[in-house]
Amino acid sequence: MALKVASRGRAVSPFIVMDVMRAAGQREAAGEQVLHLEVGQPGTPAPRKVLEAAKAALESDLIGYTDARGIASLRARIARHYQEQYGLSIDPDRVMVTTGSSGGFLLSFLSAFDSGDRVALAAPGYPAYRNILQALGVEAVLLPSELEHGFQPTVDLLERTPGRLDGLILASPSNPTGTMLDGGEIKALADYCAEQGIRLISDEIYHGISYGQTAVSALTYCPDAVIINSFSKYFSMTGWRLGWMILPEDLLRPAECLAQNLFISAPALSQIAGEAAFDCRDVLDGYVATYAQNRKLLLEELPKAGFSRLAPADGAFYIYADVADLTDDSEAYCRRMLAETGIAATPGVDFDPARGHHFVRFSFAGPGADIAEAARRLQAWV
């Protein structure tokens, strides 16, 4: 007799970029070169001070469990970061360290929403939002955002959405578009959420990576917002699996109890090393300067390859390209691109199931030489 497989696992859509990574890895294993423009992962190492802190801890520390909320000194350092970067005074008791931002999304969604609740988010948007919500029995209400509004939610979109909403997820800078919300736009959305009793969750994992416009934390306008951040992007510590949340008072204990049972704690070694990352801004800002050069190159060269309609990429390290003139099947197009050029890119259907078949996301977080070579190959190919 066949054993049961839970319906929630069968119902959740794949995270397509991970499938692209697997296909790229298979190509590399066969001895073929791959230019990785598919994954949102810095091509830069963790700063030396981070590595030195980890090495010292390995030689002198037990590396055991920590408080489920995170090591106290790290939580205090994160709180100080908000004073330094945003002028916001945050009680360290509101900080919870998580196993990457992924752990933060899971804990915040579990704490804030019940099965059957409805949470709005922009499409295109990070696919794990809707996939985690779906696994929890929470309805992801996709807002069909447009380029003219930066592919971001607007109050008008929310007002035109039928039925009650229990939550709204913001991301500025956004994945996959790199677009950003300014202070006035965040305030308008925060005020609307406060009036309607909608829980606001702000994904701020790309803060620190922007090109001319400074990212604004939703905490500036919504003290009760759930803030999710990560050491993976600006801090260049993707594989260390470390993130954090700033939580409102009513979610502190629920999130802590969930973390105790689901994770026990975030990795202790990563927490120790992560504290040192805040003292590495010169190095990290140098990394951002490299991303800026890659961004400039692609914005100049992609139109020469036929990608003429591009999201502005104000932050993060992605360019979201409209490929409607080239294909109506972005998944097949990306498979062919990998097979014929060795360039791995992510199809837009990962980020927008309804309209993403006309879009492709390119990541420019890798080495500059790879980005330049990819542009050359695309121009020759298209």
- For residues 273 and 290, membership in a common domain is answered with no
Place of tokens 């945050």: 90
**Is-contact 167 136, C-beta < 8 A?**
no
Classify strands 226-230 and 199-203 as parallel, antiparallel or unpaired: parallel
Phi, psi of 47 (to 5 degrees): -60, 155
Question: Looking at residue 340, what DSSP letter applies?
Answer: H
Last-in-domain residue among 260, 279, 298: 279
Domain presence at residue 164 = yes
Domain presence at residue 2 = no
Torsion of the alpha carbons at 170, 175, 181 and 185, rounded to the nearest 10: -30
Domain presence at residue 371 = yes
Classify strands 167-171 and 139-144 as parallel, antiparallel or unpaired: unpaired
- For residues 110 and 245, membership in a common domain is answered with yes
Tens of each residue's pLDDT in the chain, 382 residues: 777 777 776 666 767 778 888 888 888 888 888 899 998 889 999 999 999 999 999 998 889 999 999 999 999 999 999 999 999 999 999 999 999 999 999 999 999 999 999 999 999 999 999 999 999 999 999 999 998 889 999 999 999 999 999 999 999 999 999 999 999 999 999 999 999 999 999 999 999 999 999 999 999 999 999 999 999 999 999 999 999 999 999 999 999 999 999 999 999 999 999 999 999 999 999 999 999 999 999 999 999 999 989 999 999 999 999 999 999 999 999 999 999 999 999 999 999 999 999 999 999 999 999 999 999 999 999 8
- For residues 272 and 301, membership in a common domain is answered with no
Place of tokens 């790309």: 206
pTM reported for the whole predicted model? 0.94
Give the SS3 label for residue 140.
strand
- For residues 263 and 364, membership in a common domain is answered with no
* Whole-angstrom distance, CA of residue 28 vs CA of residue 373: 17
Longest distance between any two alpha carbons in the chain, whole Å: 61
- For residues 19 and 118, membership in a common domain is answered with no
- For residues 101 and 190, membership in a common domain is answered with yes
Domain harbouring 354, CATH code: 3.40.640.10
- For residues 29 and 141, membership in a common domain is answered with no
Domain presence at residue 343 = yes
Domain presence at residue 286 = yes
Classify strands 226-230 and 243-246 as parallel, antiparallel or unpaired: antiparallel
Q: How far is CA 107 from CA 71, 79, 82, 256, in A?
A: 18, 19, 21, 9
Q: DSSP labels for 224-279?
A: T-EEEEESSSTT--GGG--EEEE--HHHHHHHHHHHHHHTSSS-HHHHHHHHHHTT
- For residues 265 and 289, membership in a common domain is answered with no
- List residues bridging with 347 in a β-sheet: 360
How many structural domains does the chain have?
Answer: 2
Q: What is the pLDDT of residue 10?
A: 67
Nearest to 293 by CA among 198, 364, 382: 364
Last-in-domain residue among 221, 252, 279: 279
- For residues 114 and 242, membership in a common domain is answered with yes
**Is-contact 277 52, C-beta < 8 A?**
no
Domain presence at residue 207 = yes
Q: What is the pLDDT of residue 25?
A: 85
- For residues 226 and 95, membership in a common domain is answered with yes
* Whole-angstrom distance, CA of residue 317 vs CA of residue 324: 22
* Whole-angstrom distance, CA of residue 36 vs CA of residue 265: 32
Phi, psi of 81 (to 5 degrees): -55, -40
**Is-contact 283 234, C-beta < 8 A?**
no
Question: Looking at residue 172, what DSSP letter applies?
Answer: S
Q: What is the pLDDT of residue 4?
A: 73
Contacts of 221 (CB under 8 A, 6+ apart): 183, 186, 187, 190, 191
**Domain of 292, in residue numbers:** 7-46+282-381
Last-in-domain residue among 279, 295, 313: 279
- For residues 297 and 365, membership in a common domain is answered with yes
Domain presence at residue 54 = no
* Whole-angstrom distance, CA of residue 221 vs CA of residue 26: 47
- For residues 204 and 334, membership in a common domain is answered with no
Domain presence at residue 51 = no
**Is-contact 117 163, C-beta < 8 A?**
no
Q: C-alpha angle with apex 365: 75 to 16, nearest 5 degrees?
A: 90
